[in-house]
């Protein structure tokens, strides 16, 4: 009986320790942009980018953010601090979308946070979505050209 109680306590402690060590946090953010008459959008971000078409006249970007070694409260704080603020600027007759705040590394408790961000871009049919060299694409939609 006493052995069973000790074994149960040890197993419970191991499960709690694994849960605390293996924490990860995920959130999905969405931001929309007015195309301002541009028919080309450059996604200047690192990470996976999936492009889908939709019937609106604006572009919508859905960002799936995952911290593999952080908690949801840390992720919420980073979101409030505008770390994941997607910025749109017009340059060379195209709308450029990027996240300049990701250039800085974030450390918590002396350890660098590991962030994994993937993007789903919802663009009108007549808009070409290009990717920077750091991006990888899947299901890119462009009926007029085979270029991404």
Whether the Cβ atoms of residue 88 and residue 36 lie closer than 8 Å to each other: no
Q: How far apart are CA 145 and CA 139, in angstroms?
A: 14
Tens-digit pLDDT profile for residues 71-129: 999 999 999 999 999 999 998 889 999 999 998 998 888 889 999 999 999 999 999 99
Least confident of 18-27, 31-40, 69-78, 119-128: 18-27
How many whole angstroms separate alpha carbon 102 and alpha carbon 107?
13
Question: Looking at residue 50, what is its pLDDT?
Answer: 94
DSSP string, 17-60: HHHHHT--EEEEEEEEEE-TT-SEEEEE-SEEEEEEE-SSSEEE
């Amino acid at each position: 009986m006493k052995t069973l109680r000790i074994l149960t306590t040890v197993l419970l402690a191991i499960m709690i320790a694994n849960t605390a060590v293996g924490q990860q946090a995920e959130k999905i953010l969405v931001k929309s942009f007015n195309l301002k008459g541009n028919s080309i959008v450059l996604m200047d971000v690192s990470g996976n980018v999936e492009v889908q078409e939709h019937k609106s006249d604006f572009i919508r970007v859905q960002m799936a953010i995952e911290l593999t070694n952080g908690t949801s409260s840390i992720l919420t704080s980073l979101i409030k601090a505008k770390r994941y603020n997607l910025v749109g600027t017009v340059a060379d007759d195209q709308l450029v979308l990027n996240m300049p705040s990701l250039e800085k590394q974030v450390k918590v408790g002396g350890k660098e946070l590991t962030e994994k961000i993937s993007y789903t871009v919802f663009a009108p049919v007549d808009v070409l979505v290009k990717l920077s060299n750091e991006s990888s694409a899947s299901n890119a939609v462009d009926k007029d050209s085979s270029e991404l």
